[in-house]
Amino acid sequence: MRVMGIDPGLTRCGVGVVEGRPGAPGTMIAVDVVRTDPEAPLADRLLALDDGLRALLEAHRPEAVAVERVFSQHNVASVIGTAQASGIALLAGARLGLPTATYTPSEVKNAVCGNGTADKHQVTAMVTRILRLKEAPKPADAADALAIAVCHLWRGGVKARIAQAAAAQAAAVAAAKERTR
């Protein structure tokens, strides 16, 4: 399964594409940052971000999109731009009919570091190890996007297995009911 992780931001939006499956080390397909000009009008920046994300979705064709959830606890001055960028990211995935998911920063840290309060260096170190990279991913601020993709692969896999098991059980119950008719 191929997942695009997105660390939303209006000035710098991290994008990491990882292929893999739950419990196994994944493979990094791409890592990039979509940048928009802080001096440009807001609508132009949102359009540039949307264009950039669409181009990356087109180039790497992920099967799912995972976006870091914006928190009101973030710096209030920057939360509005981050929220707008996350909205554009989720819309870009949904527009292509892809499943989307959001994860809190602590869910992402917990998934890759086993610790919801891990710092940026730990996240980068673990992403480098999990994806068996020779060196830390560059640009450095895109490491979080890879961590979000890994988080979705691992957690999404668990969720998918639970959903699969529930569906199998529901089917078994339905079949049993059918037999007793």
Helix axes 143-180, 120-130, angle to 10 degrees: 60
Q: Is 79 in the site for a copy of itself (CB under 8 A)?
A: yes
Q: Is the dihedral of CA 63, 102, 82, 97 positive or negative?
A: positive
Task: Compute the distance between CA of residue 141 and CA of residue 13 in angstroms, rounded to an integer.
Answer: 9
Task: Decide whether 50 or 141 has the Cβ nearer to a copy of itself.
Answer: 50
Among the listed residues 86, 111, 124, 127, the single contact to a copy of itself using CB under 8 A = 86
Q: Among 32, 100, 126, 131, which residue sits at the site for a copy of itself (rule: CB under 8 A)?
A: 100
Region of 75-83, 114-122, 135-143, 145-153 interacting with a copy of itself (CB under 8 A): 75-83
Ordered DSSP codes for 112-157: HHS-TT--HHHHHHHHHHHTT-SS--SSGGGHHHHHHHHHHHHHHH
Instruction: For residue 94, state whether it binds a copy of itself (rule: CB under 8 A).
Output: yes
Q: Are strands 12-19 and 100-103 parallel, antiparallel or unpaired?
A: unpaired
105 lies in the site for a copy of itself, by CB under 8 A:
no
Site membership for a copy of itself, residue 72 (CB under 8 A): yes
- Give the shortest CB-91-to-a copy of itself separation in angstroms: 5
Is 40 a binder of a copy of itself (CB under 8 A)?
Answer: no
Residue 70 contacts a copy of itself per CB under 8 A? yes
> Which residues, including other chains, have CB under 8 Å from residue 15's CB and lie 6 or more apart?
4, 5, 6, 7, 30, 31, 32, 33, 34, 53, 56, 142, 145
The binding site for Mg(2+) comprises: 7, 68, 141
Q: Which active-site residues does the annotation give? A: 7, 68, 141
Q: Which parts of this chain interact with a copy of itself (CB under 8 A)? A: 41-44, 46-47, 50, 70, 72, 76-77, 79-81, 83-88, 90-91, 93-95, 100, 102
